Structures are given as C-alpha cells and as structure tokens.
Amino acid sequence: MVVGEIPDPVDLLVVGGGPGGYTAALRAAELGRKVTLVDRGGDEGGIGGACLWVGCIPSKALIEVADAYHQTIAMRRAGLEVDAAAVNLATFQTWKGDLIAQLGGGVESLLASAGVEVISGRLRFTNGESAAVDTSTGTRFLNWKQALIAVGTRPSIIASLASASTSTDILAMKEIPASAVIVGAGYIGLELGTALAKLGTTVTVVEAAERIAPTIDPQLTGHVRRAMERMGVTFLTGHSVVGIDGREVTVAGEGGERKLNADRILVAVGRTPNTDELGLDRAGVKLDQGGLIEVDDSMLANPRVAAVGDVVAGPALAHKASAEAVVAVEALCGLPSKFEPRGIPMVVFTDPEIASVGLTEAEAAEMQIDVVVGQASLGANGRSATLGSDGMVKVVVDLASERILGLHMVGRHVSELVAEGALALEMIATPQDVTNTIHPHPTVSEGIHHALTSVVSKR
Ligand SMILES: Cc1cc2nc3c(=O)[nH]c(=O)nc-3n(C[C@H](O)[C@H](O)[C@H](O)COP(=O)(O)OP(=O)(O)OC[C@H]3O[C@@H](n4cnc5c(N)ncnc54)[C@H](O)[C@@H]3O)c2cc1C
C-alpha cells in the first residue's frame, strides 16, 4: 500500500455475488456481522452470479421456450393443432433479460435490507488483511478481519478451439442456427443440445468418452441419448475435436478424421476457477493443481478465510454453493458447523430429465457396500404417459441397515421430485418410510413409490 491510501475497515468481506456469496452475506448479516460484498459484474457475473446471468436461469429459460415450441409438434398426435408456431429469439432475449433483472433485483433488495454494503469492482488480495478493489471510479482499499471467497468459474477455453462459442454466447444468440456442433456431452452440452434440437437446429454432439455424461448411471443416460436421437441429434462418442477453422470442425475417432460443418460450434468442455487473478497466496490460501481452493469440512481455507461454491471441490451446482455458504459463515462466526450432506441432488434438464441424489449402484459397489436395487419403469406410469414420456426410477438401499442410499430417475418433471430423495437420505429413511407415505395419483412421483415397493417385496 502506498502512503495516502487509507483503507476502509471491513468486518466480513465476501468476494463474489453468486449463490455462494450472496447466501453467505445474508446469513452473516442474520448473525449480526457487518458485511461488505464485492462483485466485479461483467459478462459472466454480477449480483446473482453465473447462475443468474449465464447459467441456471438463462439456460432453463431457453429450455422452456424450446420445449413449448417442440410440444406444438410432439403433441400433434394428441390432436394439438397450432398454425405457424415459431420462436423469435430476439423477443426471447428481452423476456430473459426481464427475468434476470427481476430475480437480480430481488437479491439486491434482500442484501440492501440486510444492511450488506455492495461494492461493484474487481478485487485482489494485497496481503493477509487487506485487499484492493478496482471500481469504475478508482481503486478502493479494504482492511478485512475475515473473508469468504465465492468467485466461481468461467468457461474453459482450449487454445485450438478458441474461435468457437461458449455456453454464454449460445444463451445470448438472437437467431436460431440451422446447424450446430456441440463439443462435450456433459450436462451443459446435453441441455443446450436438447434445446437447440427442439428449436429445429440440426445438432451433432462430439464426445471424447465412449458414452455421454460418463459420470451418470448409463441406464439413465441411455434414455436421454435415445430421446435426443429421436429429435434428430447425431452423437459421435469416442471422437475428439482436432481443430476448428471457421465453420468447419475436424474430429478424429475410430475410422480416422472427418470434417463437420456447422453454423454454430459450442465448446462445453468444462469451466476454469476464477482463483488465478485474486492474489490468494498473499491471503494465505492454498490452491490445488486444478486451481480449486483447499478447505476443511467447515469450508475454512485458514482460520480467517473460507471458500465455497464452484471454487472448491465437489459438484459445481448453485444449491451446493449456497448450502456450503451457510456452513462457512457459521464456522467463521465460531459456531459448530460442518458441510456433511448425505447427498447433493443433481439435475440434467434434458428431455427426459435426469435427477439423482446419493450413491449410485456403481459407487456402492466401489465402496463395497452390499445393496438392494429397486426399479420401476415410467413407461407404466399414467402421468408420464399423458406427458408423452417414459423413463425409469432406480433406488439403491443398504442391505444391512435398510437405509435408502440413492435415488436416480430419468423422466419428464423428475427435477421436481428429487428433493424427496434428498429428504429421505437426510432423514435416514427406509423403503417402508416412503412406501407408507401416500403418493398422489396420477403423478410421476408414484414411480418412486413403485421402485421402493419392489425393494420391500424383495426382502
Ligand atoms: C450454462 C450453465 C447452466 C447451469 N445450470 C445450472 C443448473 O441448472 N443448476 C445448478 O445448480 N447449477 C447450474 N449451473 C452452475 C451454477 O451456475 C454454479 O454452480 C453457481 O453459479 C456457482 O455459484 P458460485 O457462487 O460459486 O459462483 P458464481 O455464481 O460463478 O459467482 C461468482 C461471482 O464472483 C464474481 N467474481 C469473480 N471474480 C471476482 C473478483 N476478482 N472480484 C470480484 N468479484 C469477482 C463474478 O462476477 C460472479 O458474479 C450452470 C452453469 C452454467 C454455465
């Protein structure tokens, strides 16, 4: 610090205004802390974070409008007649912008009523008790007692593929492309691939692994792959992209190299933590080889600094970030608090959707836990049939303790049901606890009941 730069004293400094950062700020204010939250804004963030601006909300908005359009075609066989349905993506962008403004405004007013000071600027740590924030009106210096880091991620750019679009570009597009190549069949690639296919784009998905979303149970992803193929999507699994030249993508796999042409090329091969520009070493914070912050089970990187969300290990999901944030703030306030969820639910918003929580059959086998697996087909579920969908529910139950260890589903609307599985895990429920619970008819939730009934009847 140079003579003349007078730092402002800060009790709890929160860096990043996404689900991790704003949840932390609100919980800390509830606990009586004076909080200053800094967010740099820009193309990939702002109050609400990547989730609100370029992630969860805009992607689900696009998925929703694409599905509404697709239903006008898919439900023709059920008698739905719509003349000249069309999607105007320029109008969609205005609607999406309004949604973001409404939700972001809600978070800003919560922060304001909690007395949180919000600074718009890019922060870097200068040492273990001070930081500099570059704002539009100059640099502000802060002298902090404790800090919580929730700076999230940005799309990973591979140099040879740098000319391609990111998910952020796709979510901002104003015209529907006639064709698209999607590099990476992780959840972002599959969600955006489904939305584009429903909008009428000819989609090719290129994935280096032998199957799509390789970390998810293959029985579930099999349903999604078949449904996407029915929408006209081509999958090139076991293929890698060698290079991109304008609208031409060169891919290599068994059988050698081939060239694909597309109006849009989306590279969705992961995200890079924004921890490289923060000067974290000066704040006594250690990073692992992937740039993630090393924390203990109370989310503390050291006794005065916590980190949460996409910048720490675990699934990069908004609800995981906010759950960690509560734990981190309580730990910084000296309260006993640990992040020990029995399961973090995960949803892939394809059609059908995948929703999963807890141990899969394969994970239980790796951990040498003896389990009983129950299944129910959603092909026989009345509500699924009226939704024009099928799918399945799979439950994993510990043989010795009879505890439910995992719930894994593929089907329409299953995103809305997975919290039942998360609750069952947290409550240490047995199959009988759920089968004794009346599930409404006709709903997709009956599939959970049926899958667990099959476990009860096996015993
Ligand atoms: C296309 C897409 C779809 C997604 N869909 C889902 C979904 O359906 N469900 C789900 O749970 N998750 C989804 N995610 C993931 C979700 O967005 C993240 O897990 C979540 O946003 C992480 O929250 P966070 O608080 O850790 O970080 P972020 O939300 O990334 O927030 C970090 C904030 O830090 C700020 N920042 C960064 N560096 C600095 C700095 N130096 N100084 C000041 N501020 C800084 C940024 O401006 C940003 O606002 C999706 C992501 C993408 C990209």
pLDDT (average), residues 360-383: 96
Q: Tell me the sheet residues that pair with 256.
A: 253
pLDDT at 4 over 60: no
The pocket around ligand 1, CB under 6 angstroms, is made up of: 15-21, 38-42, 45-46, 49-51, 54-56, 59, 122-123, 150-153, 167, 188, 274, 277-278, 309-310, 316-319, 321
Q: Provide the pLDDT for residue 157.
A: 85
- Alpha-carbon dihedral sign for residues 412, 154, 164, 99: positive
Q: Check residue 159 and report its DSSP letter.
A: G
- 431 CA distance to ligand 1 middle (Å): 36
Q: Which residues are identified as catalytic? A: 441
Torsion, CA 360, CA 361, CA 365, CA 368, rounded to 10: 70
pLDDT (average), residues 249-266: 95
CB distance 111 to 118 below 8 Å: yes
pLDDT band at 459 (very low <50, low <70, confident <90, very high): low
Whole-prediction pTM value? 0.96
* Predicted confidence (pLDDT) per residue in 297-331, tens digit: 999 999 999 999 999 999 999 999 999 999 999 99
CA of 38, closest atom in ligand 1: 43
pLDDT (average), residues 211-225: 95
Q: Provide the pLDDT for residue 57.
A: 98
In order, the DSSP letters of 52-71 are: HHTSHHHHHHHHHHHHHHHH
Per-residue buried b or exposed e for 156-188, using 16+ beta carbons within 10 Å of the residue's own CB: eeeeebeebbbbbebbbbeebbebbbbbbbbbb
Task: Label each residue of 370-438 as H, E or C.
Answer: CEEEEEEEHHHCHHHHHCCCCCEEEEEEECCCCCEEEEEEEECCHHHCHHHHHHHHHCCCCHHHHHCCC
Percent of the chain's residues with pLDDT above 70: 99
Beta-sheet strands, E only, within 150-208:
153-155, 179-183, 202-207
CA of 151, closest atom in ligand 1: 34
Pocket test residue of 14, 51, 295, 317 for ligand 1, highest count of atoms within 8 A of CB: 51
Question: Cα–Cα distance between 45 and 310 in angstroms, integer?
Answer: 13
* Predicted confidence (pLDDT) per residue in 7-25, tens digit: 999 999 999 999 999 999 9
CA of 60, closest atom in ligand 1: 8
CA of 309, closest atom in ligand 1: 26
CB distance 204 to 177 below 8 Å: no
Task: Write out the H or E segment, with its range, that includes residue 8.
Answer: strand 8-15
Pocket test residue of 13, 52, 56, 356 for ligand 1, highest count of atoms within 8 A of CB: 56
- 27 CA distance to ligand 1 middle (Å): 19
Determine how many CB atoms are found less than 10 A away from the CB of residue 84. 5
Q: Tell me the sheet residues that pair with 411.
A: 353
- State the pairing for strand pair 153-155/122-127: unpaired
Residue nearest to ligand 1 atom 50, measured at CA? 55
Residue nearest to ligand 1 atom 46, measured at CA? 45
Pick the closest to residue 186 from 257, 289, 258, 267 (CA basis).
267
- 38 CA distance to ligand 1 middle (Å): 14
Average pLDDT over the chain, rounded to whole? 96
- 190 CA distance to ligand 1 middle (Å): 19
Pick the closest to residue 358 from 392, 326, 394 (CA basis).
394
* Predicted confidence (pLDDT) per residue in 232-243, tens digit: 999 999 999 999
Pocket test residue of 149, 151, 285, 350 for ligand 1, highest count of atoms within 8 A of CB: 151
